[in-house]
Amino acid sequence: MIKLMFVHALSSLHAGTGQGVGTIDLPIARERATNLPVVPGSSIKGCLKDTVPDSAEREMVFGKQESAGLLQVADARLLLLPVRCLGATFVWTTSPYLLRRLQRDLEAVQMAGDVPAVPSLADSTARVATGDSLVTVNGKLRLVLEDLDFTASVSEAAEWGKWIGKMLFGEGDSWFAEFQKRFAIVDDKSFHFLAEFATEVTAHVKISDSTGTVDREQGALWYQEALPAETVLVSLLRAEERNGAMDAKAVFKLIAGTTHLQLGGKATTGQGLVRLAIPGGAA
């Protein structure tokens, strides 16, 4: 049995690579081919394990040194990136490529039947779920994200906004309506630019223990990258069936009560708090 899991960042999320080779000293992990941000499945599985009380079922689901566990957790891949917006503070932004990838995951969990069609977008164009995030420039409606502006219209994005909002928050939640106001689909080329340059980069300095002021040694200043709060990623969970072991429903039931996790590094500074949403729960 395979299930889809949404990972919604409630604070900035640093799932790092250890050390960078460019201007950012502590970059986030990214996919090799696409360069899109990713959170390793091994990190998610380890954090999930920490939330479950020690028991024989816990060892069976998560594994131990001499045997593999029943639960398999795929890497969490980017679906929605919050980007600063001139007309609406920020919008949850995605692209046709990410939506097609989501469709492929939905086929694996047999949920692709009621999914909207993915729009085809020309460069510098966008679709929004509602007109709340748009501004008028020279008499035309535009979506302005960071320093990019898009020719925008309200069309196919409305159906995607309702579908994703329902999966993330539920139709009865107040955040469902908020999500509609702040959802946009932009062309793939522009989104990849935003995914590389619209992440959160913060400067840090080392304080000397002896003087209580900034340490002037080399390396005392460094830059750290993180996914901003409100980022949404998607992962796949698979429960393996084995003779004499727990069935798949029992495996998912063991983790169904976990709605929040601490992922990635820098937890003591408040980073990495995420909310989990598994459509269908343990059913």
Residues in the chain: 283
SS3 content of the chain, % helix, strand, coil (to 5): 30, 35, 40
What are the residues whose beta carbons fall under 8 Å from the beta carbon of 190, sequence distance 6 or more?
95, 123, 124, 148, 150
| Alpha carbons 160 and 166: distance in angstroms, whole number | 10
Structure tokens at 37: 């941000």
Structure tokens at 142: 């535009």
Per-residue pLDDT of the chain (283 residues; tens, 9 = 90+): 899 999 999 999 998 876 666 778 889 999 999 999 999 999 999 999 999 988 888 999 998 877 788 999 999 999 999 999 999 999 999 999 999 999 999 999 998 888 999 999 999 999 999 999 999 988 889 999 999 999 999 888 999 999 999 999 998 899 999 999 999 999 999 999 999 999 999 998 877 777 766 666 666 788 899 999 999 999 999 998 887 778 889 999 999 888 999 998 888 888 999 999 998 775 6
Instruction: Map residue 10 onto helix, strand or coil.
Output: coil
- Burial 82-101, CB ≥16 within 10 A → b, else e: bbebebbebbbbbbbbbbeb
Domain architecture of the chain: domains with CATH: 1-28+41-74+201-283 (3.30.70), 81-198 (no CATH)
